[in-house]
Amino acid sequence: MSERALQIGLAGLGTVGTGVYETLCRNRELLQARTGIPFRVKRVAVRDIHRKRDVEIDPELLTADWRDLVEDPEIDIVIELIGGTEEAHRLVEEALRAHKPVVTGNKALLAEFGGELFRLSAETKTPLYFEASCGGGIPIIQSLQSSLVCNYVRRIAGIINGTSNYILSSMERKGVSFEEALAAAQRKGYAEADPTLDVNGWDAAHKALILAMLAYGTPLSPENISVYGIERVTPTDFRFARELGYNIKLLVVIRHHGERNALELRVQPSFVSHKHMLSNVYGVFNAIAVHGDIVGETIFYGRGAGKNPTASAVIGDVMLAMRDCRHPEHHSGFHPYTKQLSLLPQEETVTPYYVRFHVADKPGVIATIAAELARYDIGISGTMSSARREDGEGEDTCDLVFMLHACPWGKLCEALRALRVHEGIGPHPAVFRIETLNEEA
């Protein structure tokens, strides 16, 4: 290999940045043999150049200013792994303007500024790669863009936040508390610097927006999408779910309603039947079920977070970017190809539900709930109850579970509001959607 080595600028040496740097060093021969392109990491931008690091790195490579990467005419490719949106936005924008292909894993950045950045990428004819932004080590982005390219995507359903899946799995399987499980996910490097986004569903929502953009050809805005996190999932609901033949998973569901040119995009903890593969995805693993009109159902499975799986995705993109540098006439990044889709209002989305009421254990309670549900035309497919217990104030109470037939979310909310006035029925029932993920999408 006598041609000039391509020069890489890496911005960010946190968990994933370290994994990328280590792997580029460790598997250099393999990468060069497979691509036929020699490369080297020329500069690494970090916040603090004096900090002690877990990786051995020549201090000469370090700089505290990412502009040193963007402004260096010798650097061919920039990897953005600094996280956050403000600084990262500037970095990606300036790198694209400098005609340097960019590789990023920053889902929040793409969810917020994807539209603008992909336009800039097209204008400057400089690709922006983002495999690591969704599903950790799972090659879902390339699959949607390349392997599944001939399909109209009917539906995507998936578990795409490793931290919340790790927490739910630990709660369900080991009876570990929410706080303990979150602390373990943080120690393992799965959680974001601020784990709020992992827990409240927004990290999954950002990734869902990216998947929707790829599947339907246009960036979408995070406004008005329906996002619920795992904060209110309790051991009680896990127990009922198991008895009823379900697991509880933080699920994203993206469904195209062609007749209305609208997209249903939701993130929420949902009941998933034990019969479906998604119910058996545990720990940090993610899984994404894509239903295409030609291919039918496909399921992508792998580690959704962590240093090395995410580094694997980043480096896959770096190799694509290197090919682009060698063949600049070919731009293999994302090209928007459709007009804006509207979002289906949440009230109009339809699924069956599990609703658990905490009630006074006295005659007539079941009848009251059933009557109110009937008034809103909501059918009941089954009921279940817990053993009676004393509530500490001398009253006997129990949990009453209603499994409801499919109805619009808006209608269910109206019925639940109406039930609040009835004495003996707790005002805040636990509500979960039941996702029917059958072959027909």
Q: Which residues contact 295 (CB under 8 A, 6 or more apart)?
A: 148, 151
Q: Which of 192, 264, 324, 399 binds ligand HSE (CB under 6 A)?
A: 192
Q: Which of residues 22-51 bind ligand HSE (CB under 6 A)?
A: none
Span of 112-120, 156-164, 239-247, 251-259 interacting with ligand HSE by CB under 6 A: 156-164
Confirm whether 207 is a catalytic residue: yes
> Would you count residue 190 as binding ligand HSE (CB under 6 A)?
yes
Q: Which of residues 264-283 bind ligand HSE (CB under 6 A)?
A: none
- Strand residue runs (E) in 134-222: 153-159
Nearest 5°: the CA angle 389, 237, 297 is: 160
Asked if 181 and 166 count as a contact pair (C-beta separation under 8 A), the reply is yes
| For ligand HSE, the closer CB: 118 or 190 | 190
CB of 285 to ligand HSE, least distance (A): 10
| Count of Cβ atoms closer than 10 Å to residue 415 Cβ | 19
CB of 253 to ligand HSE, least distance (A): 17
> Would you count residue 203 as binding ligand HSE (CB under 6 A)?
yes
Amino acid 70 reads V
CB of 306 to ligand HSE, least distance (A): 8
> Would you count residue 161 as binding ligand HSE (CB under 6 A)?
yes
CB of 232 to ligand HSE, least distance (A): 19
> Would you count residue 198 as binding ligand HSE (CB under 6 A)?
yes
- β-strands 226-227, 246-257: how paired? unpaired
Q: Which of 82, 156, 191, 434 binds ligand HSE (CB under 6 A)?
A: 191
Could you tell me which of 139, 143, 113 has the C-alpha nearest to residue 128?
113
| For ligand HSE, the closer CB: 182 or 430 | 182
3-class DSSP state for residue 155? strand
What's the rounded Cα separation, in Å, for the pair 320 and 328? 11
- Output the CA–CA distances (angstroms, integers) from residue 302 to 155, 191, 293, in the order listed: 20, 16, 24
Q: Which residues contact 178 (CB under 8 A, 6 or more apart)?
A: 167, 171, 230, 231
CB of 433 to ligand HSE, least distance (A): 21
Site size for ligand HSE (CB under 6 A): 11
> Would you count residue 162 as binding ligand HSE (CB under 6 A)?
yes
> Considering 42, 100, 107, 207, which one is annotated as catalytic?
207
| For ligand HSE, the closer CB: 161 or 312 | 161
What's the rounded Cα separation, in Å, for the pair 318 and 101? 9
Span of 17-25, 186-194, 369-377, 409-417 interacting with ligand HSE by CB under 6 A: 186-194
Asked if 157 and 351 count as a contact pair (C-beta separation under 8 A), the reply is no
3-class DSSP state for residue 175? coil
| For ligand HSE, the closer CB: 45 or 111 | 111
What's the rounded Cα separation, in Å, for the pair 387 and 389? 6
What's the rounded Cα separation, in Å, for the pair 274 and 247? 6
Q: Which of 17, 83, 136, 429 binds ligand HSE (CB under 6 A)?
A: 136
> Would you count residue 305 as binding ligand HSE (CB under 6 A)?
yes
What's the rounded Cα separation, in Å, for the pair 155 and 254? 6
| For ligand HSE, the closer CB: 311 or 373 | 311
Q: Which of 137, 304, 316, 429 binds ligand HSE (CB under 6 A)?
A: 304
User: Where in the sequence numbering do the catalytic residues fall?
Assistant: 207
Residues that bind ligand HSE (CB under 6 A): 136, 161-163, 190-192, 198, 203, 304-305
